Amino acid sequence: MTQALDDGAARSSSHDVMACLLIAAWTSVVAFVALTDRPGWALVFAGIAGFSMTQLFELTPAESMFAPFHDPAVAEQLPLRLEPGTATGLKRDFGWDGVKLSWDTAKAETVAATLEMPLVDLPDRFDHFVFCHVAPKDVSLTFEAKRGGPWTPLAKPVPGTGGRKEVTFAIGARPVDGVRCVFTALGGSHVMISLQWWGVARAALVAELDAARPRFDGKWEGLIVPPD
């Protein structure tokens, strides 16, 4: 009986030591990831650890990104869901300057595709969403939010301009479970869209920082002088 008790105590002690070693190893890995400049790996380990809060990446003191599409190390780990509509040949590619969405054809005036991303526990200090993209003129983008019910538009559709565009919309009621972009084809030809980043902002602080920026006269009077 004494021998059996001793064996049981030894096994229990061994299990305790192993558990402590595993915890120490995991803590070291998480610390290493946090101290390195690899946010993509941080997302992987955060998912394994069961962290539920949406990861934010600071852009300025007033703005943070939850979807930095221009960083493929992060973008490839994001919980994105791309759903085709009428688009044929729909593709998603992760590039060094953004996530590229493209399709071969789509029926005009119909939803070609949607791209959505879940959100969890956005900090209350942010009051606006910010979306940055490059879209051609034959596409319009409608940004929507989900708040425990159906998807609802954040604003009117945003037409593509052929150049870089950054749009800002009030977050509105909380909690927000996710955001998505609905891509509507205005024509039937081939389309390519580049998504730079999606994020959140504090509108008042953005305005304050913008007002504090130095302003320079475009004439450069007194700064450019003729040669002697």
* Runs of H (alpha helix) within 169-220: 203-212
DSSP secondary structure letter of residue 77: T
CATH class of 57-212: mainly beta
- What is the pLDDT at residue 16? 57
CA separation, residue 40 to residues 76, 78, 103, 152 (Å): 8, 9, 27, 30
Structure tokens at 205: 């602080």
Residue ranges per structural domain of the chain: 2-49, 57-212
Structure tokens at 97: 């300057």
Helices 39-49 and 2-35 cross at an angle (nearest 10°) of 150
Residues with pLDDT less than 50, the chain: 1-12, 17, 20-51
Q: Residue 94: beta bridge partners?
A: 99
pLDDT, position 13: 53
Distance CA 127, CA 204 (A): 9
Q: Is 138 left (phi over 0), alpha (psi -120 to 50) or beta?
A: alpha
Please report the pLDDT score of residue 26 as a whole number: 43
SS3 category, 25: helix
> What is the model's pLDDT at position 127?
97
| DSSP alpha helix (H) spans, the chain | 2-35, 39-49, 72-75, 203-212
Which has the closest alpha carbon to 159: 191, 134, 188? 134
Write the pLDDT tens digit of every residue in 133-173: 999 999 999 999 999 999 999 999 999 999 999 999 999 99
Three-state DSSP state, 16: helix
CA distance 103 to 109: 15
The CB density around residue 21, as the number of other CB atoms within 10 Å, is 10
